[in-house]
Amino acid sequence: MDADHPVTAQDGTDPFTPRQLRILKIAVVVMGIILVIGFAAVIGRIAYLITKGGAAQPPAAHALAKAARLPLPAGAVVRSIALAGDRLAVHYDTPAGAGVAILDLLSGEPLAHVDLAPR
């Protein structure tokens, strides 16, 4: 048996050399180990999050403003709102055009008004 010539079964159908089979076995074992380590990491992370109380809470979630007032231009009609962390964005339309107002939910203070104008 030479390493350059394939080892064949009795019916002559085995196309792999012993070296190729050894490499294939090593690859399968290494990939199996990687799978086991990956599953262990996922299960460990899930267990960690469960014991830590799940998803992270905003640092001052308990200190949200009880009441907030967002001044909008006269005649404004609110079209949509979006919440991102401790910021509230209000999209509104007025007779003069559209705009977006941003409110800080922790302090209750308006942060910005952005007028949306066509080009």
Which regions in the chain score pLDDT beneath 70?
Answer: 1-12, 53-65, 119
What pLDDT does 49 receive?
Answer: 87
What is d(CA 95, CA 33) in angstroms, rounded to the nearest whole number?
Answer: 65
pLDDT of residue 20: 92
Is 73 found in the same domain as 52?
Answer: no
Listed residues 35, 56, 77: the one ending a domain = 56
pLDDT at 55: 53
Q: Say if residue 6 is in the same domain as residue 41.
A: yes
pLDDT of residue 65: 59
- What is the value of pTM for the model shown? 0.46
Same domain, 88 and 38: no
Task: Return the ∠ at Cα 27 (arms to 40 and 16), rounded to 5°.
Answer: 155
Q: Pairing mode, if any, of strands 87-94 and 97-104?
A: antiparallel
DSSP state at residue 63: G
Same domain, 40 and 15: yes
Question: Is 55 in contact with 49 (CB distance < 8 Å)?
Answer: yes
Task: Provide the domain limits for residue 95.
Answer: 61-116
Q: How many domains does the chain have?
A: 2
Domain check: are 48 and 82 in the same one? no
Q: Pick the closest to residue 69 from 36, 103, 21 (CA basis).
A: 103
Q: What is the largest CA-CA distance in the chain?
A: 92
Token pair, residue 54, equals 């799940």
